[in-house]
Amino acid sequence: MTRSTGRRVTANLALSLDGRYHGPGGAHDFGAFVPYVTTDVARDHLTRIWEGATTALLGRVNAEGFLGFWPSVAADENADPRDRGYAKWLVDTEKVVFSTTLAEAPWEHSRVVNAPAAEVVADLKATGEGDILVNSSASVIKPLLAADLLDRLYLMVIPEIVGGGQRLFDDGLPGSKWKLTRQETGDLGEIALVYDRVR
């Protein structure tokens, strides 16, 4: 049995009212989400997500997309301090990128793995300290939900039905109970939620 250091495994994702994490146009269809993820409530929520985390887990698509955006925010002295704080953390922290196609890591402080998420998380939990954050990557969150390895969910629910796109909570997940430990509602109707797994 793998020894555990007690590291918490957390995940964050924005969802529409109909439970989708992107729109019907595919993986890059975030138009409905954009107005809600730059509010004060969303930015404060983002800060809570990364403050205790020392490792970020990313799917390949997110890793490449984030690489094209966040390093410039980290360097932008005029950026919102909360955005810049997150960006600096993301650039500097240990990153594990899940991919079957990448030959080399796309960022500094990152490594590529081609292994089941549950195995990688078990190895990470056996060493180090601080939260292990699955950073907006549903392709990694889903198998960890299926294996019941997530300890905390940070969800941003936007008040729109997008009518198509991928859902986070697929049929067939094992039953689990969660405790709402924080909620905050913004002026646009967006709700930041923090759920902790009850074991």
Q: Does residue 134 contact residue 141 with C-beta atoms inside 8 Å?
A: yes
In order along its 199 residues, the chain shows pLDDT tens digits of 445 568 999 999 999 999 999 999 988 899 999 999 999 999 999 999 999 999 999 999 888 888 888 999 999 999 999 999 999 999 999 999 999 998 888 788 999 999 999 999 999 999 889 999 999 999 999 999 999 999 999 999 999 999 999 999 999 999 999 999 999 999 999 999 999 999 9
Q: Find, among 167, 136, 170, 119, the residue nearest to 65 by Cα.
A: 136
Distances (CA, A) of 5 to 9, 60, 76, 181: 12, 27, 36, 23
Domains of the chain (ranges plus CATH)? 9-198 (3.40.430.10)
Token couple for 191 = 């709700």
Q: Which residues on neighbouring strands pair with residue 55, listed in sequence order?
A: 94, 132
Six-digit token string for 160: 């729109």
Q: Tell me, yes or no, if the pTM score tops 0.85.
A: yes
